């Protein structure tokens, strides 16, 4: 089965193998890739060869999700499921305004509910356009969390809201920048990198404190996760977490999940 996440700036794709026994159903990642957004024809080309069994189309760009799911159904033999509504993601939401929670946060929570230890709470750290640190209760409820600017947003704000700071690229930083930074660009990189880690670490500590005395499983995902590696002990890095959650939602929606 293939899952695509259609974001506003990037598309992500994961190919999964779904296995079933009398006792349980499991999913295993086979392939994970991403690319910049493109045209409908580029979407179809990107998905070749045809996925086996089922295509799941999800993402924050809901109009495009619906459009591309219809495009796939009209041009291919295999079916698709479009995840476009809150009630398609079967995770309880223990906050006052559940409809305000984004698709990616709920999919992350759904995947974590199936991954975390029984009776443990969980914290999800997602580093992308925003830095999101969410909490899941021991009984599998999404509890909300915190949202802060991500690396790219911070870099853009420094450039656009000041007169002399340049625009810098924050993609694919292979290692921590030098501190102290002698050049302005080096100083900006150090501030963004270590500030991002510091924000994530502090939000994790706050979440763990609020979830005490429960044991807490910690999950890390997102395109900026490389900056947060080694943030704490026993953090599970799951780059396909959002896509995995969308797959579980589709299986449940199709009546296939246990």
Task: Confirm if 120 and 138 have CB atoms less than 8 A apart.
Answer: yes
Q: How many residues does the chain have?
A: 258
Helix (H/G/I), strand (E/B), else coil: 33? strand
Two structure tokens written together for 12: 């992500």
Two structure tokens written together for 171: 């993609």
State the Cα angle at 119 between 237 and 15, rounded to 5°: 35
Active site residue 87: no
Q: How far is CA 190 from CA 59, 98, 173, 197, in A?
A: 32, 37, 11, 11
The DSSP letter of residue 115 is: H
The DSSP letter of residue 50 is: P
| 200 burial level (CB within 10 Å; 0-12, 13-18, 19+) | buried
Q: Which of 15, 74, 104, 252 is catalytic?
A: 104
Determine if the peptide bond prior to 201 is cis (ω within 30°): no
Active site residues: 104
């Amino acid at each position: 089965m293939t899952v695509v996440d259609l974001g506003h700036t990037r598309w992500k794709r994961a190919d999964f193998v779904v296995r079933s026994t009398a006792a349980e159903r499991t999913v295993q990642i086979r392939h994970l890739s991403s690319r910049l957004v493109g045209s409908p024809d580029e979407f179809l080309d990107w998905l070749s060869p045809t996925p086996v069994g089922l295509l799941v189309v999800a993402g924050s760009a809901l109009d495009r999700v619906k459009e591309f799911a219809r495009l796939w159904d009209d041009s291919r033999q295999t079916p698709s499921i479009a995840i476009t509504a809150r009630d398609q993601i079967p995770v309880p939401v223990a906050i006052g305004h559940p409809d305000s929670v984004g698709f990616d946060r709920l999919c992350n929570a759904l995947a974590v509910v199936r991954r975390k230890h029984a009776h443990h709470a969980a914290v999800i750290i997602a580093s992308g356009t925003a830095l999101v640190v969410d909490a899941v209760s021991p009984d599998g409820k999404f509890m909300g969390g915190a949202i802060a600017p991500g690396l790219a947003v911070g870099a853009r704000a420094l450039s656009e809201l000041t007169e002399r700071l340049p625009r810098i690229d924050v993609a694919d930083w292979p290692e921590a920048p030098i501190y102290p930074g002698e050049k302005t660009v080096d100083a900006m990189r150090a501030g963004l990198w270590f500030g991002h880690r510091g924000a994530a670490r502090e939000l994790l500590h706050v979440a763990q404190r609020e979830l005490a005395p429960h044991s807490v499983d910690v999950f890390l995902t997102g395109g900026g996760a490389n900056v947060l590696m080694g943030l704490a002990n026993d953090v599970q890095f799951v780059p396909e977490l959002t896509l995995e959650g969308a797959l579980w939602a589709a299986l449940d929606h199709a009546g296939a999940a246990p």
